[in-house]
Amino acid sequence: MGAVGAPSVSVIALEPHPLALTTELPGRVAAYLTAEIRPQVNGIIKTRQFKEGALVQAGQVLYMIDSAPYEATLAQSKATLASVEASVPALQAKVDRYRDLLAIHAVGQQDYDDALSSLQQAQATVESDKAAVETARINLSYTPIRSPITGRIGKSEVTVGGLVSSYQTTVLALVQQIEPVYVDVVESNAELLHLRKALEAGNMRSDAAAQHKVKLYLEDGSLYPQTGTFEFQDVTVGTSTGSVTVRMTFPNRNQILLPGMYVRAVVEEGIKQNAILLPQQAVARDSKGTPYAWIVDKDGKAERRNLELDRTVGNQWLVSKGLNPSDRVIVEGGDRVQPGMSVHATQYQQSPGQTSQNSTSQPSVRPNQKAGIHV
């Protein structure tokens, strides 16, 4: 029985337990592969052979450039090559004859040298014309513009009859592979250092299998039905933001995720052993912003404890320092007590919608991150 006139307070007995800690990171969806379609030769677009928004296959013809000028150039190059090749045998025969006649001094050395030079010039011209034929053939092969990858093609930026130039800056269309997709998120380097120190100090247990699985929330707050995996973590910290880019891969068979879409990834950091959770209404702050809580000691008197808070977990605070296992913390009535004051303590009764103090399935969010995720 408490002392006469002692204020009544509701208390909760702390019970440390393992807690899976997660971090919510904002990010955006990026295509797994992206191909910008540009012409490699000049010409007029004769046909467009795809439907905007459709799935196109690697190697599929998307546009046809008028090939008539390139066919004519190829034919002319072949004819020029044939003409030069036809002159080579006669020049070769002349060189052979002059070589024999030179041996018996029937012709002069200059005549022989001139004949040999003419042959070599013709042979060099043959090689040059062969290259011209190959160039003409390559240019002709560029008149059908093909997709280099399989993916969804977007809006066409050119119409039939439009004039295009080789390697122009304007993209004709964009093809994106969106099964699977990347999700790029940004994590503070300070958070990475905090996690690394916690693991090294033994305060958290790393779960490699869980850490490679990532949950995703869409813009409307709904949970994406499939989990993703880590792809890589950038090795450079942004000098202006102090953050690191983390890339994840998600399956996208139903193509719910589209490039540029804003999403939130929930990443499991690890398992914190002997975590202490405290209802948020049990924590107050002084004029300097320092968080504190009231406890009831073994003599039934109120005692103030300054706290260090790690993050929110549902509607509770994860306490780093300031409380001990089995402490009885005042949840309701703390505004009516003073240090050393005797109190009448009763067990705190949670409302039906509140999170249990022993729950380990709630998402955790650091104080500088956005709360309100439901896992």
Report residue 48 CA to chain centroid gap: 32
- Identify the residue whose tokens are 């929930």: 266
Alpha carbon distance 280, 351 (integer Å): 14
The model's confidence at residue 206, banded by pLDDT at 50, 70 and 90, is: low
Least confident of 49-58, 61-70, 93-102, 360-369: 360-369
**Torsions phi, psi of 165, nearest 5?**
-125, 150
Q: What is the residue-wise DSSP string for 2-24?
A: PPTTPPEEEEEE---EEEEEEEE
Distance CA 273, CA 349 (A): 26
Residue pair 248/234 in contact by the 8 Å Cβ criterion: no
Q: According to the model, what pLDDT value does residue 371 have? A: 36
Taking the domains of the chain in order of start, what are their residue ranges? 8-29+179-365, 39-66+145-170, 68-141
Average pLDDT over residues 247-271: 88
pLDDT at residue 210 greater than cutoff 70 = no
pLDDT of residue 176: 96
Question: CA–CA distance from 220 to each of 182, 185, 263 (Å)?
Answer: 19, 18, 9
Nearest CA among 338, 349, 327, 363 for reference residue 281: 349
Distance of alpha carbon 139 from the chain centroid:
36
Is residue 321 over pLDDT 50? Answer: yes
Q: Say yes or no to pLDDT of 82 above 80.
A: yes
Residue 31's DSSP bridge partners are 181
Bridge partners, residue 183, by sequence = 29, 248
Residue 207 has a pLDDT of: 57
Grouping H, G, I as helix, E, B as strand and the rest as coil, residue 96 is helix
Handedness of CA 295, 297, 301, 303 (dihedral sign): negative
- Residue 357 or 275, more confident: 275
The whole-number pLDDT of residue 171 equals 96
The answer, yes or no, to whether residue 329 has pLDDT greater than 50, is yes
CB 148 within 8 A of CB 208: no
Residue 355 has pLDDT above 80, yes or no: no
What is the pLDDT at residue 270? Answer: 73
Mean pLDDT value of segment 336-362: 70
Q: Name residue 80's amino acid.
A: T
**323, 276 Cβ separation under 8 angstroms:** yes
Report the topology of domain 8-29+179-365. Answer: Elongation Factor Tu (Ef-tu); domain 3 (2.40.30)
> Which pLDDT band holds residue 163 (cuts at 50, 70, 90)?
very high
pTM, to two decimals: 0.67
Q: Which residues contact 264 (CB under 8 A, 6 or more apart)?
A: 24, 25, 26, 27, 216, 217, 370, 373
Least confident span in 137-141, 236-240, 264-268, 371-375: 371-375
pLDDT at 362: 46
Model pLDDT, residue 50: 96
Q: What is the pLDDT of residue 32?
A: 94
More confident residue, 357 or 249: 249
Question: Of the ranges 138-152, 260-274, 328-342, which one carries the lowest mean pLDDT score?
Answer: 260-274
- CA distance readout (Å), 219 to 24, 27, 215, 257, 260: 14, 11, 14, 11, 12
Q: Which architecture characterizes domain 68-141 according to CATH?
A: Orthogonal Bundle (1.10)
- The fold adopted by the segment(s) 39-66+145-170 is OB fold (Dihydrolipoamide Acetyltransferase, E2P) (2.40.50)
**Phi (first) and psi of residue 142, to 5 degrees:** -85, -10
- 235 versus 204: which is more confidently predicted? 235
Q: Which DSSP helix (H) or strand (E) runs through 296?
A: strand 291-296
- The pLDDT value given to residue 180: 93
Query: Which residues does residue 344 pair with via DSSP β-bridges, in sequence order?
Result: 8
Task: For residue 58, give the amino acid letter.
Answer: A
Provide Rg for the chain, Cα atoms.
39
> Residue 57 pLDDT > 80, yes or no?
yes
pLDDT band at 202 (very low <50, low <70, confident <90, very high): low
Give CA–CA dist 375/91, Å, rounded. Answer: 86
